[in-house]
Amino acid sequence: MTNLFFNPVKVFSGRGCVGEYPWKSHGKKCMIVCGSHSARLCGALDDVRDALTAQNIKFIIFDRVEQNPTVETCKEAGDIAREDKVDFIIGIGGGSPLDAAKAAAYFAPNPHLTVETLYDGECKSDPLPVIAIPTTAGTGSEVTQYSVLTCRRIENKKTLKTPKIFPVAALLDAEYTVTLPQSITNATAVDALCHAVEGYLSKGANPVSDALAEKAMFYVGRSLRSLIEGRLDFALRERLLLGSMLAGMVISVTGTCFVHSFGYPFTYFEGLSHGEANACFLPDFAEYTARVAEDKVMRVYRLCGVKTHEEFRSLIERAVPCDWKFDRDAVMKYSRIGGGGGSVNKGLYEPTADDIYNMYKKYII
């Protein structure tokens, strides 16, 4: 029995959608989960506050989500949500706040769960409803059942994965991405492209995920070319946000592959952004996969508007810096951690130990 598709998120889009959304349908009190800066800077936090006030909904704000949020932070947010008896949670931000909002919603009605038992403990009560408002076009978290958290115990990221944490709604307003610096726009776009490409070249791909992936690659891949050429307008931002959401739907079916596994240690230990870390391995992923599925890789390239491995690599490297160099011992450690990730063999091509070494070694000083 193949699970072809399941994605229960109500997806809305358009300028001003936060103001039009029927927040009242979820209750009388909520918690807003966000980081300390960008949700304010982009205007989303103000819009949400205005909308809640207009609909007579009380709210508290948890704005202490760090980049690559820890399980500890999410537990804390969940505890506050429970103590303050909120009915629902609104996540505003890039992947970090959205993933934190989902984990906090999971912790909130389950006080027996601890930082140690989050991943394996029983979910006795359904999580609080989460409404996700992405402010970057990359994560796709607004339509996935994943919450990727930093887990100090294993010195890596680890994903909480359960259909219970699908947001109930995603509100896509590209206005909130306008204030992003170009470097973040590019890095998050590459992250979205990774989701689409990894999902498309995954063993778990099926015709539904492929339909969504093809559209996502077209939107994001072509937009990446425009970004590099300096053509960045509102219409492009809308296409990126849409493509990013579509790519999120893709990985809700397929999960990710080794690009994500390999990249996580670069983020955990070296502080690369998620998009930058993924960019380091995306061209290799496509090239290795072409050994077993050349046609499908060529379709990826066509959809992105390039023709060859070299052109695709150049597209990624021009969008995001990929010339990082680290100490040999460090890179060897990262390759062990990344190469041991759960998604390494999910792709159509399963990398050998040699392949993994070869992909990491170019990052040795």
Question: Which residues form the interface with a copy of itself (CB under 8 A)?
Answer: 1-14, 16-17, 20-21, 172, 207-208, 210-212, 214-215, 219, 242, 245-246, 249
Pick from 147, 146, 142: nearest CA to 44: 142
| Structure tokens that stand for 60 in this block | 């508290």
Q: Which is nearer to a copy of itself, 24 or 37 (CB)?
A: 24
- C-beta of 67: minimal distance to a copy of itself in Å? 28
- C-beta of 358: minimal distance to a copy of itself in Å? 35
Q: Which is nearer to a copy of itself, 74 or 189 (CB)?
A: 189
CB 72 within 8 A of CB 116: no
- C-beta of 142: minimal distance to a copy of itself in Å? 11
Distance, in Å, from the CA atom of 166 to the CA atom of 303, rounded to the nearest integer, reads 28
Q: Which is nearer to a copy of itself, 84 or 210 (CB)?
A: 210
Q: Which is nearer to a copy of itself, 211 or 330 (CB)?
A: 211
Side-chain-side CA neighbours of 326 within 13 Å: the count stands at: 20
Q: Which is nearer to a copy of itself, 55 or 70 (CB)?
A: 55
- C-beta of 189: minimal distance to a copy of itself in Å? 16
Q: Which is nearer to a copy of itself, 19 or 305 (CB)?
A: 19
Q: What is the DSSP letter of 346?
A: -
Helical axes 182-200 vs 309-319, angle rounded to 10°: 140
| Structure tokens that stand for 329 in this block | 């011992």
Instruction: Kindly provide the b/e burial profile for residues 325-352, where b requires at least 16 CB atoms within 10 angstroms of the residue's own CB.
Output: ebeeebbebbbebbbebebbebbbbebe
- C-beta of 3: minimal distance to a copy of itself in Å? 6
Q: Which is nearer to a copy of itself, 48 or 81 (CB)?
A: 48
For residue 107, the one-letter residue type is F
- C-beta of 19: minimal distance to a copy of itself in Å? 9
Q: Which is nearer to a copy of itself, 199 or 265 (CB)?
A: 199
Distance, in Å, from the CA atom of 300 to the CA atom of 292, rounded to the nearest integer, reads 14
CB 89 within 8 A of CB 127: no
- C-beta of 17: minimal distance to a copy of itself in Å? 4
Distance, in Å, from the CA atom of 343 to the CA atom of 339, rounded to the nearest integer, reads 9
- C-beta of 6: minimal distance to a copy of itself in Å? 4
Pick from 227, 175, 338: nearest CA to 272: 338
Backbone angles phi, psi at 339, to 5 degrees: -70, -15
CB 5 within 8 A of CB 253: yes
Q: Which is nearer to a copy of itself, 71 or 304 (CB)?
A: 304
Computed from CA positions of residues 73, 326, 139, 57, in that sequence, does the dihedral angle turn out positive or negative?
positive
Q: What is the DSSP string of 302-342?
A: HHHT--SHHHHHHHHHHHS-----B-HHHHHHHHHHHHTST
Q: Which is nearer to a copy of itself, 17 or 118 (CB)?
A: 17
- C-beta of 10: minimal distance to a copy of itself in Å? 4
- C-beta of 12: minimal distance to a copy of itself in Å? 5
